[in-house]
Amino acid sequence: MLAGGFLSTRMNSASTQFVPSRRMGIHEPIHQMAMWGDFKGLDTSPPMILEVEAKLDNQSEDTSHGIDGPSNKYDQEASKPADKVLRRLAQNREAARKSRLRKKAYVQQLENSKVRLIQLEQELDRARRQGLHVGGALDNSQLGYSGTTNPGIATFEMEYGRWVEEQNRQISDLKNALHSDIGDVELRLFVESGMRHYFDLFTMKATAARSDVFYLMSGMWKTAAERFFFWIGGFRPSELLKVLLPHLEPLSEQQRLDLCNLGQSCQQAEDALSQGMEKLHQIIAETIAARLLGDENYYQQIGAAYEKLDALVRFVGQADHLRQETLQQISRILTTRQAARGLLALGMYFQRLRDLSSHWSSHPREST
């Protein structure tokens, strides 16, 4: 089977079968706070009452002077309290408007502070998982944390931290299910949930690649041991097949043949993508190196190289499509219980790689 044919055929099938689950967000916005309290002390008496009181006062004054009926003086005096009330009401409305604006700004500040706090908690949690002491020197290469200020990448790191926590929970649930007398129908729900969880990761990575493809390709969001096996932003499907096969026994002859053919197809597709990456490296290097000496206006070369980076984003997407299609094909070949064992073995494999990084970073090493 040719690599290009595998890619086009598999990717098309993946695009029709893959239904992205909900996109993980940072946190849902804080609900709008209720008003902090009524504005007390406002004169809310109807103008009618004030006018009656003013009229009684003026009538007594007119009687004392022996004047009957309204006068210009009466009109002027009666209008003063009403004008005063209108001014006070307008001032109170303006004060209320400014108070609402201040509260809105305060709520937004709380939201920003909460997001930052969550980021710090994620950093501390990663440090604890890898055996590092808070207050010590934190090595970003050990943490798998870039310290980036890119909002898209900061969001991805938070989402990926939650993704790992959810995967650990799913591993525990799947292990308990396999050791119980649960039927295949119920077990299939665990398998589908585990598959969707990996598909969520591919969706998250696609967004992160558009935000900063170099960051995603560097693997800084992974631990050191995981980066050792990195290939175009993730794992090699053919290598994982080799890891999983011993844990899928017993296999029928047809299953063994199908998995062998799948492994060969994965290898051919990986070789094609690797060759494409090497060619892209060469093109970008030649573009940057053009007219190095004697040319001060080199921004043309930078711009040309920058335009070619879109191809790198597409390579990451194709590699993730290959990973997704491989997982789907394995699930189709295996029985429900075999697929559950395969997902459990896959999750524990990544879990042990993270543990290996933790032991490596915390183990004291003698300097030579």
pLDDT in tens, 277-290: 999 999 988 888 87
Q: Is the pLDDT of residue 116 over 70?
A: no
Residue 351: inside a domain, yes or no?
Answer: yes
Residue 89: inside a domain, yes or no?
Answer: no
Compute the average pLDDT of residues 307-311. Answer: 86
Is 50 exposed, middle or buried (CB count within 10 Å of its CB: 0-12, 13-18, 19+)? middle
Residue 235: inside a domain, yes or no?
Answer: yes
Name the E strands within 135-215.
Answer: none
> At 336, is the pLDDT very low, low, confident or very high (cuts 50, 70, 90)?
very high
Residue 229: inside a domain, yes or no?
Answer: yes
Mean pLDDT is lowest, of 23-27, 56-60, 231-235, 321-325, for: 23-27
Mean pLDDT is lowest, of 65-79, 264-278, 341-355, for: 65-79
Residue 88: inside a domain, yes or no?
Answer: no
Q: Is the pLDDT of residue 344 over 50?
A: yes
Q: Is the pLDDT of residue 231 over 80?
A: yes
pLDDT at 139: 40
* Angstrom distance (rounded) from CA 320 to CA 306: 23
135-156 pLDDT per residue, tens: 333 344 344 445 566 888 999 9
pTM assigned to the model: 0.60
184-216 pLDDT per residue, tens: 999 999 999 999 999 999 999 999 999 999 999
Asked if 185 and 196 count as a contact pair (C-beta separation under 8 A), the reply is no
Residue 174: inside a domain, yes or no?
Answer: yes
Q: How far is CA 27 from CA 30, 86, 218, in A?
A: 9, 44, 27
pLDDT at 84: 79
Q: Which domain range does residue 311 map to? A: 151-359
Query: How many domains does the chain fold into?
Result: 1
> At 173, is the pLDDT very low, low, confident or very high (cuts 50, 70, 90)?
very high
Name 70's Cβ contacts closer than 8 Å, sequence gap at least 6.
none
pLDDT at 149: 67
pLDDT at 121: 66
Residue 11: inside a domain, yes or no?
Answer: no
